[in-house]
Structure formats: C-alpha cells, structure tokens
Copies of this chain bind each other. A is one copy, B any other.
Amino acid sequence: MTEAPAASWVPIPEGSDFPLDNLPYGVFRAAGEPRVGVAVGEHVLDLAEVAAAGLLAESGTDSEALFRTDRLNPFLASGAATWTATRRRVTGLLSPANRELHDAGLAGRALHRQADVDLLLPFQPGDYVDFYSSIEHATNLGRLFRPDSDPLLPNWRHLPVAYHGRSSTVVVSGTPIVRPCGQVKPPDAETPVLAPTRRLDIELEVGFVTGPSNAPGEPIPPRDAARHIFGLVLVNDWSARDIQAWEYQPLGPFLGKSFATSVSPWVVPLAALAPYFVPPPPQEPPVLGYLRADGDWALDLQLEVELTPHGGTAETISRTSFRHMYWTMPQQLAHVTVNGTQIRPGDLYASGTVSGAERGSEGSLIELTRGGREPLRLQGGVTRTFLEDGDRVTLRGWCGGDGRPRVGFGEVTGTVQPAR
C-alpha cells in the first residue's frame, strides 16, 4: 500500500521524519524566550507568533498563552478538543495553497530552521513512571539479575509492572551524559566501594505524555485513554548496571537510573500515529476486567539504536519494533490509576526497554552482550560491552516510510562524558 505524504509549501526533504502528516510539538529558543513550536520538514513553526497574529483562534481564545511558554504543559492540559482544533488549523496553514502566514508576514519570521534554534525539554514531567512491558526484556533481565529463579516473576503477566523514576533528571536529547558515580560491590569484594559506573548502559524506550488529569480518586478505564494521552516521545533510560545490581533490593531501581533520562525534543501526537496502530499480541492468561482494552493499541513503530564509539564510526547495533510490547498504553494508564492516583498534564510514562525476540533486536547493552560476556564487535576491530567515555548513542524511531508517510520522532542522542 503506497500513500504519498501530504504536501506543504514548506519544503519537506525525501525521508524526513516531519512531513505534514506528523506535526509534532516541541519547545525551542531562537533569539529570545522559549516558545512552543511544531516541526515541519527541517523547520519549526513558532506557534506563539502564529497565535499572536490571531491565526489560531480556533484553538481557543487564550491560544497565545498556551504557546508563549517554555513547556507544553499548558497545551497538554487544554485537552483533546484544543489539540484537534490546533492540529487541523496548523495543517491548514501549512498546506500548499494556504497563503495566510505569508499574508501576515509570518512565513519568514515564524518559521525557523531547526538547525538554527535550541530544542529544549518539551514538557516538565510531574511524575515519571517507567514500565517493564516487553516480555523479552523482562525475561532477559530476570535471567541476568536472578539467575537462580524463574526469570518472569508470578505477577508479570497479570499486571504491567512499573516503578516511579526521577523527574528532575528527565533531559532533552543532546544533553551530555556524565558517567555517574555510585556505590558498587564488585563480585570478588567483601565490601562496596564508591566508583564511577563500569557498566553504563542504555534502555531504548517509548514514552507517552499525558494530557488532562483524571478526577481525584477516579481511575481511567482503557476506553478513555485517548482523552488523557497526548502523544509519544522516544526515551533513553540511561542505566548504571553495577549501581543498580547492588542497590535494587528490596525497593527497586534508584540511583542506577536517576542520573539521566533523555527524551526526544518532539512529542508526536496520537493523531499523527493513528494510521499505524495495529492489534496487540495476545495475552495469556486473560487479564482482569479493568485492564481489558478494545481496539488496536499496539503501535507499528520501528526503532533503532546507533552507537558511535569514541573516535569511531556510527553503527546500528539494534533494530526492533514497538508493536510486540505485551502491555499497551491504555492498560498501563488504567493500572496506574486503578487505586485513584491522579495523573497530571505532562507526566511521562515510559514503556520499559523495547526488546525483540531475535538476536540484535534487544534494547539495552546488557542484553545485547549477554550481561557483558559477549562484547559487540564493531567496525575497525572496536569492541564494546558497556559504554566508554566519548561514546555517543542515538535512538531513532518512525512509523511508515515503507511507501506510507513517514511519521518519525527525530533522534534522542547523548554523548558520555567522563565521571567528575
């Protein structure tokens, strides 16, 4: 099935992640204060300027306040009707025959090349939750962390296991990743030491970003998920495996994760992803009623991990798909809120590492290298188990592109800096 991407008067290069079909939201700074913008091709459209010119009246009378700000949270709070109206209107403004931005003198002034601006953290998460929803990842990690017991714990197929992560260190793509120090206990040591991590890893994840809160005490049933999920980001949940292994019992991961979690600068709205949702994999045993979700909530999203070793050549080390995740986003949201917990606009709910069943489709180095025992062999004779200083990791993700419009997330990248 081939379907041409929608055209725009803004030039859209072949293979761009950001055709008119996508229009993801982000926050950028050109010269002055940060603004909310929409990516189109290699450009970003300044929505604050567009709103100030009165061209977003459909999005609500206070539309300028939604966009003349340093975070998407107010827009996320505005709800699905405003999201829909804004998307429709921006699509119209960027359509080939539309001259409104030109007529308002904004075709130049409100349109920046992405390369010329700083892309900032797009939203301020209140709570950040990290799931564990890939059955392949949970099985792989269970084998490595608990070699003497069943890798999948008894609760895993009954509920989407998750924990709260640290929201203060959610950072935007491009933020340098300083190798963290922490307490580690080498296998042959009697007592722990404080040291820079020697097992710095990545986790390839996809996160959803929330819109309006639920009423206090009111769970969000799966059928209401689309009212509360605005869109998706790519996530790299950097992990220090040696710190994690020593600290994580009995209360879960903490400092092995809390030093940095990188997200893409662009939040791709559900509306742009709608054509790429597919039926989820079967769940056995059947889940409890509050987790039953109708509809196609698995996303046919291709994912790649690229590693550029220090001084070396960029190389794709993992290719996988998001469509095989065991737990879907509506199930995750229903589970989080089943006890009455409130979500807030701008919360981040990450999927957990996305790993496939085949070799080379794992979303973390600890899986790709079998716990560090089988180093990756890269170009030029370079090998890696975990990350070394100067290494750069870039995640990419996109739907379509196979003759259908490519709706992409851009990149999440980070370069490892030496420990302080």
Question: Known contacts A153-B249, A163-B251, A181-B219; can you find 8 more A-B pairs with CB under 8 A?
Answer: A155-B247, A159-B192, A163-B164, A163-B254, A164-B165, A191-B285, A255-B335, A255-B338
Knowing A250-B248, A420-B217 are in contact, say whether A255-B288 is a contact too (CB < 8 A).
no
From the candidates B145, B164, B183, name the one contacting A159 in the complex (CB within 8 A). B183
Whether B340 and A420, one on each chain, are in contact in the complex, defined by CB atoms closer than 8 angstroms, is yes
Determine chain A's interface SS by DSSP, over half rule.
loop
What is the chain B residue whose CB lies nearest that of A335?
B255
Residue A194 at the chain B interface, CB threshold 8 Å: yes
Whether B420 and A258, one on each chain, are in contact in the complex, defined by CB atoms closer than 8 angstroms, is no
Q: Which of A35-43, A275-283, A341-349, A361-369 contacts B (4 or more CB under 8 A)?
A: A341-349
CB distance from A243 to the nearest CB of B (A): 7
Knowing A258-B341, A339-B243 are in contact, say whether A158-B251 is a contact too (CB < 8 A).
no
Enumerate chain B residues within 8 angstroms of A308, measured Cβ to Cβ. none
What is the chain B residue whose CB lies nearest that of A126?
B168
Residue A289 at the chain B interface, CB threshold 8 Å: yes
Whether A159 and B247, one on each chain, are in contact in the complex, defined by CB atoms closer than 8 angstroms, is yes
How long is the Cα–Cα vector from A326 to B19 in the complex, in angstroms? Answer: 58
11 pairs, CB–CB < 8 Å, chain A vs chain B: A126-B167, A142-B250, A167-B167, A183-B338, A193-B288, A240-B339, A252-B252, A255-B339, A258-B341, A259-B339, A259-B340
Residue A198 at the chain B interface, CB threshold 8 Å: no
Residue A28 at the chain B interface, CB threshold 8 Å: no
Whether B339 and A251, one on each chain, are in contact in the complex, defined by CB atoms closer than 8 angstroms, is no
Residue A225 at the chain B interface, CB threshold 8 Å: no
What is the chain B residue whose CB lies nearest that of A171?
B216
- Total interface residues in chain A, CB < 8 Å: 62
Enumerate chain B residues within 8 angstroms of A164, measured Cβ to Cβ. 163-166, 254, 258
Residue A269 at the chain B interface, CB threshold 8 Å: no
Interface residues as binary, A240-280 with B (CB distance below 8 Å gives 1, 0 otherwise) = 10010011111111110011000000000000000000000
Enumerate chain B residues within 8 angstroms of A155, measured Cβ to Cβ. 183, 185, 192, 246-247, 249
Enumerate chain B residues within 8 angstroms of A194, measured Cβ to Cβ. 288-290, 338
What is the chain B residue whose CB lies nearest that of A164?
B164
Residue A330 at the chain B interface, CB threshold 8 Å: no
Enumerate chain B residues within 8 angstroms of A339, measured Cβ to Cβ. 180-182, 240, 243, 255, 258-259
CB distance from A226 to the nearest CB of B (A): 21
How long is the Cα–Cα vector from A154 to B246 in the complex, in angstroms? Answer: 9
Whether B162 and A251, one on each chain, are in contact in the complex, defined by CB atoms closer than 8 angstroms, is yes
Residue A388 at the chain B interface, CB threshold 8 Å: no
Enumerate chain B residues within 8 angstroms of A338, measured Cβ to Cβ. 181-183, 194, 255
